[in-house]
Amino acid sequence: MDPEQDPADTDNRLRGEVGAATGDIPTGRLRNEDVLDQPASPAAGLTLRGLGGGQGVPVLAEGYRTGGTIGTGAMANILEADQQTLWRTVAIKTLKPERRTPNDQRSFLAESIATAKLEHPNIVPVHDLVRDESGHLQLVMKRVVGRTWKDLLHPQNDADEAAADELDLDDHLEFLLKICDAVAYAHAFGILHRDLKPENVMVGDFGEVLVMDWGCAVTYGDYHVAGMSHLTELETISGTPNYIAPEMARGDDSRTGPWSDVYLLGGMLYEVLTGEAPHHGKTVRDVLARAARGKVPPPRHRNPARAMPDELVELCTAALAANIDERIQGVKEFASELRNYRKHGEAYRLAEAAREQLRVAKQARASQAGRHYRRAVACCEQALDMWPERSIQMLTVRALLEAAGDAVATGDLGVAASDARAAEALAEELGFEDQARKAAEILVLCHQPAEQADRRFAALELTITKLRFLAAALLALAVLGTALGAVLF
């Protein structure tokens, strides 16, 4: 894969309220246009909300004792601290010294209000909002022991690799469903997140899944919250270019809504399926321009080597529709489709087991291959009983044909004919002409020897019948000869 397309390459957290002066991106909405020509990677690390400078470790508010920096971005530091009154460890988010402008402080306050208002099991809990001795705001939150979802999707060290190895597709879908629950809850209060991505999700060591970083959050529609910006009041573009919805990238706030967060959820599903974020480009300007046009390669085109269930591909595509009217409109609908897929998870696991048996069969000795083909067919048949999804039907046809071919090779023509007939019927039902034709060819091979045997048997019966007539004739002649002899002598 091209280094520019490796989602794990970049960890920079540029924060910029950005619009562009080119392409499909509106002009006049850029605080610092230099960011547009910076190199871009598909990493989830670039959030457009303003650019920051160096790092500073602030003094904590009274009653808290610092335990060191546990995270940093271009806008803020996150510190581990001891809350002395309750003897517990917390996390404190505080603006960097160079980011304590009136505008940044208003944004920080809005983020604090949004996070505190949304009390949900999958949203990071806020304990307090305090000021240090200089009067600067500090947000006190739960200290989550774990790692970001991004670290599990793109591990960069042995510990993350070990944790990632314990997860399968179903685990990642469970994370996404919990995120959906959090976002749906926020929407119920009229709050859009607008910056959903794996980097902004913490996965705790004890099963917690928490949506973090509500710095781009705004209210929408008839909802208004004191201290928070309303969607109609925005003057700049916010979000992460590699995930941002087309209407957000164009700065079309009148067309932004809950469906925009659905697009971001679809972008995370896209990354689960393909290993990459939806939007790419050499520079931030390129990424934003492509995002604004809504051009996302189909998941299987982005990563052909990965196996992807059809249902998830279809859901991902529907969530990433560039046309809002064609996109899934609400988070609950998206989550419902995802849950429906998970109900069929056992069928997919059986299908995966069938694929493994087919792979083993090809490598096994001739005397052993048939056993693996029979197991593959059995797994497919069980999966079909649970859920007759198209990809499972296709796999079943393949397993039946391969099993029939092996049975022909080993001379078990009865089994071969049975598998070929089943494959032919299913292939014809699905409209797979090539597979149906191949099944018919196998049936010809199975029946041809039997027809030849029937002809040989019929010829033998005819010969036997002729011999019987000849024997009877000879016997009759013998009797006649005996009778004549008796008369003559």
φ, ψ for residue 215, nearest 5 deg: -70, -20
Q: Distance of CA 397 to CAs 38, 254, 350, 353, Å? A: 50, 49, 15, 15
Could you tell me the two tokens for 400? 């039946």
Give strand ranges (E) for 36-175.
64-72, 76-83, 88-95, 126-131, 137-142, 146-148
> Whose CA is closest to 290, among 42, 30, 9?
42
Q: Distance of CA 204 to CAs 122, 201, 397, Å? A: 11, 10, 42
Could you tell me the two tokens for 226? 């004191």
Residues in the chain: 489
Give strand ranges (E) for 13-125.
64-72, 76-83, 88-95
Residue located via tokens 């739960």: 142
Burial class of residue 213 (count of CB atoms within 10 Å of its CB; 0-12, 13-18, 19+): buried
Compute how many other C-beta atoms are within 10 angstroms of the C-beta atom of residue 389: 19
Given the residues 151, 181, 195, 253, select the one marked as catalytic: 195
Q: Is 382 helix (H, G, I), strand (E, B) or coil?
A: helix
Could you tell me the two tokens for 427? 């292939």
Question: Is 195 tagged catalytic?
Answer: yes
Compute how many other C-beta atoms are within 10 angstroms of the C-beta atom of residue 171: 13
Q: Is 230 helix (H, G, I), strand (E, B) or coil?
A: strand
- 210/269 Cα distance (integer angstroms): 17
Catalytic residue annotation: 195
